[in-house]
């Protein structure tokens, strides 16, 4: 007899002991086939992901143009800041591209000005430490390209060196990912240039910027012997230039007890810092007196509206000291842009466009009147002292010289 399914009666009457091993064998074979299919599917997905990642990496590297057509290097706060420390998210970009916003030319096509007869040449940059994001790598490349041509003696580093909260120790990985790996390791022209540094508020992010001072004892190119210090340069013609570096974070945030607590600073620190600057400039008989701080006292940048109380207070306490001692220029950062201002008695240079940038907002009327130039674009400044003049030029992240002017040693005499 047979059944409608075609099995013989003998098959159907098979002992359980004989039948179950056969079923198990079929199940094992079916299971193995399923595993093999899953493995092939998984391997295929990995290959597709790799190809997509390489394609995105290529697109990221060659499609970006500074203000954010590149999906990860956008200059806006929302797009830049949210990616800090999330390098895993951009694995393919990190390992298969150069992490740049735009293509770059070689040093032979550099468009800046090599000032004839320069007695002292230096770069100025601030607000940069973002692991190479936000066109920071582009600015580093263009600084190196310019350095091959003009060979600066040093660099003024005007603070906010490591986002968002400074470095935790002298061994923090950001020393490599935000500084050495971006500016020094790959460029012979930048290998020996010292970075004369001040602290910014983000360097106080953990309430203790001490690791940056400690690192200066390990690395000669990172110059930060104290929170306030001076450097004196003798020009070939016999004149002297004094740079006074001051920590403005304790003073700038005097208007907010909560921010002073966050940054672990005090009113006493603020008082001591201003007394130090006053005495330092009193003791100086140098031809040029230049002050370097993180916070400006005049700005047309986005912070001018957000932190008006801080700017008003710093203007009130710092500007009289600068005028009293006939300081020629105040260099600073904090606002993420490049600006030149001149109020008729003092000249101001803001170079805080080392990575993320913001548009100008013009919330301070006195700054708007003093404004000579301003742009929210990544870049850096080059300065040359020739006699009684300081030549200033701003170079953007593409290597284009976008502004040039002369500043005088004696602005109060005009």
| Maximum average pLDDT range among 7-21, 40-54, 285-299 | 285-299
Confidence of residue 68 (pLDDT cuts 50, 70, 90): very low
Mean pLDDT for the stretch of residues 343-359: 95
Does the pLDDT value for residue 183 go beyond 60? yes
Specify the pLDDT at position 54.
58
Cα 328 from Cα 263, distance rounded (Å): 30
Specify the pLDDT at position 207.
74
Q: Which residue has the higher pLDDT, 384 or 14?
A: 384
Instruction: Tell if the pTM clears 0.85, that is, is over it.
Output: no
Specify the pLDDT at position 252.
95
Tokens 């200059």 locate to 75
Which of 8-17, 254-263, 279-288, 315-324 bottoms out in mean pLDDT, i.e. has the lowest? 8-17
Three-state DSSP at 132 gives coil
Specify the pLDDT at position 56.
55
Tokens 């290529």 locate to 58
Whole-number percent of the chain with pLDDT over 70: 79
Residue 233 contacts residue 192 (beta carbons within 8 Å) = no
Confidence of residue 143 (pLDDT cuts 50, 70, 90): very high
Tokens 């394609």 locate to 55
Mean pLDDT for the stretch of residues 330-359: 96
Mean pLDDT for the stretch of residues 48-73: 50
Give 201's DSSP letter. Answer: G
């Amino acid at each position: 007899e047979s059944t409608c399914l075609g099995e013989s009666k003998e098959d159907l009457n098979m002992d359980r002991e004989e039948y179950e091993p056969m079923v198990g064998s079929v199940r094992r074979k079916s299971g193995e086939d399923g595993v093999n299919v899953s493995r092939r599917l998984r391997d295929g997905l990995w290959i597709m992901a790799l190809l997509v990642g390489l394609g995105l990496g290529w697109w990221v590297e060659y499609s970006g143009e500074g203000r954010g057509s590149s999906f990860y290097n956008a200059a806006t706060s929302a797009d830049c800041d949210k990616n800090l420390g999330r390098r895993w998210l951009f694995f393919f970009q990190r390992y298969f591209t150069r992490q740049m916003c735009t293509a770059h030319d070689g040093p032979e096509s550099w468009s800046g000005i090599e000032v004839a007869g320069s007695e002292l040449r230096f770069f100025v940059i601030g607000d940069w430490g973002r692991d190479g994001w936000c066109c920071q790598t582009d600015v580093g490349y263009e600084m190196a390209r310019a350095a091959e041509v003009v060979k600066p003696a040093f660099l003024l580093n005007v603070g906010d060196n490591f986002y968002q909260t400074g470095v935790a120790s002298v061994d923090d990985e950001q020393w490599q990912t935000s500084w050495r790996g971006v500016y020094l390791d790959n460029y012979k022209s930048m290998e020996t240039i010292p970075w004369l540094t001040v602290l910014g508020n983000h360097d106080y992010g953990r309430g203790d910027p001490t690791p940056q001072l400690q690192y200066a004892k390990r690395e000669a190119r990172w110059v930060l012997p104290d929170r306030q210090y001076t450097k004196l340069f003798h020009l070939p013609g016999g004149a002297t230039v004094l740079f006074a570096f001051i920590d403005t974070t304790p003073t700038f945030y005097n208007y907010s007890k909560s921010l002073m607590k966050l940054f672990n600073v005090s009113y006493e620190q603020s008082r001591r810092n201003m007394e130090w600057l006053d005495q330092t400039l009193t003791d100086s008989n140098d031809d040029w007196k230049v002050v370097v701080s993180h916070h400006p006292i005049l700005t047309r940048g986005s912070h001018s509206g957000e932190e008006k109380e801080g700017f008003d207070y710093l203007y009130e306490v710092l500007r009289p000291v600068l005028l009293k001692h006939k300081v020629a220029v105040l260099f600073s950062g904090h606002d993420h842009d490049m600006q030149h201002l001149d109020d008729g008695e003092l000249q101001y240079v803001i170079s805080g466009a080392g990575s993320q940038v913001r548009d100008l907002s013009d919330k301070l009327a006195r700054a708007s009147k003093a404004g000579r130039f301003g742009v929210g674009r990544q870049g850096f400044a080059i300065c040359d002292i020739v006699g009684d003049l300081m030549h200033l030029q701003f170079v953007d992240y593409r290597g284009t010289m976008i502004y040039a002017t002369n500043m005088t040693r004696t602005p109060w005499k005009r």
